[in-house]
Structure 1
Amino acid sequence: MKYVILIHSNPDPWGHPTSRYTAEGRALSEEQHEQGDRAFDALLEEISASGELVTGEALADPASSTVHTWTPEGHLATDGPYAETKEQLAGFFLIDCASRQRAEELAAQFAGPGSVVELRPAMWSGGDDQ
């Protein structure tokens, strides 16, 4: 089953990896960052080799987004971001796992300093949204 790992973060300034731009990440030593980078690279290598990684992307600064909405008068485009929160969607990974348990194991490893990770099943027409 496919799952999306959504990474929410509040880097200031916006940058990737977001863990280097959050208050929590700036409090870490360079050695801790390098250790985290190695662990993350190993995780990506593992799930690439197993075929579980489908794709992933870091996202640009939410301030660069355009929000498109529908109104009875027609479509309306406004400057983003959409969410009125500090945390914004920083990136995502699409994974394909044999079980929810395996997806949870992987998702936990994507959480970094100053970020929150959300795991959500991907949907398809006629699919189960549980």
Structure 2
Amino acid sequence: MKYVILIHSNPQPWGHPTGNFMPEALARPQEERERGGVAFDAMLEELSKSGELKGGEALGDPVSARLYRWDVSGTVATDGPYAESKEHLAGFFLLDVASQERAEELAVSFAGPGDTVELRPAYVWEQ
């Protein structure tokens, strides 16, 4: 079963890892932040070795985003980000796991201070 973990954040300035720019993360002691980073890297390595982590990417600053919308007169392109959003998509991870329970177990580990993590199943195409 494939799932996507979407990381929503709004670091100021924009950068990765987002925790280096989020007040909630920066309020934690440096040693605690370093331990968390080491543990996160170890988890990613374990998931890669097990085959559960299929990929992922950090995304650039949303101010460089372009939005494309269909219109009867043709596709309309506008600059991003979504003006009404306070959080933006910062990155994603693609998982291939045995169950929804396993995906939920892992999603908790991706949540960092100041971030929101969205777990979404990949769409299953009918054969």
Shorter-chain TM-score bucket reads over 0.9
1:30 is displaced (CA, Å) by 1.6
Post-superposition Cα deviations, 1:61-105, rounded to whole Å, max 9, x if no partner, equal: 000100011111111111001362111100000000001000101
State the superposition RMSD in angstroms: 1.2
**TM-score normalised by length of structure 1:** 0.93
Partner secondary structure for residue 98 of structure 1: coil
**2:44 equivalent in structure 1:** 44
Distance change (3 Å), C-alpha of 1:36 and 1:83? farther
Distance 1:3 1:113 in 2: 22
Distance change (3 Å), C-alpha of 1:52 and 1:14? same
Q: Which amino acid aligns with 2:37?
A: D
Partner secondary structure for residue 54 of structure 1: strand
Distance change (3 Å), C-alpha of 1:13 and 1:49? same
Q: Which amino acid aligns with 2:91?
A: G
**2:89 equivalent in structure 1:** 89
**2:71 equivalent in structure 1:** 71
Post-superposition Cα deviations, 1:35-79, rounded to whole Å, max 9, x if no partner, equal: 110110111011011100000000000001000111111111110
1:23 is displaced (CA, Å) by 1.3
**Equivalent residues, number:** 127
Partner secondary structure for residue 123 of structure 2: coil
Distance 1:120 1:112 in 2: 18
Distance change (3 Å), C-alpha of 1:66 and 1:10? same
**TM-score normalised by length of structure 2:** 0.95
**2:26 equivalent in structure 1:** 26
Partner secondary structure for residue 68 of structure 1: strand
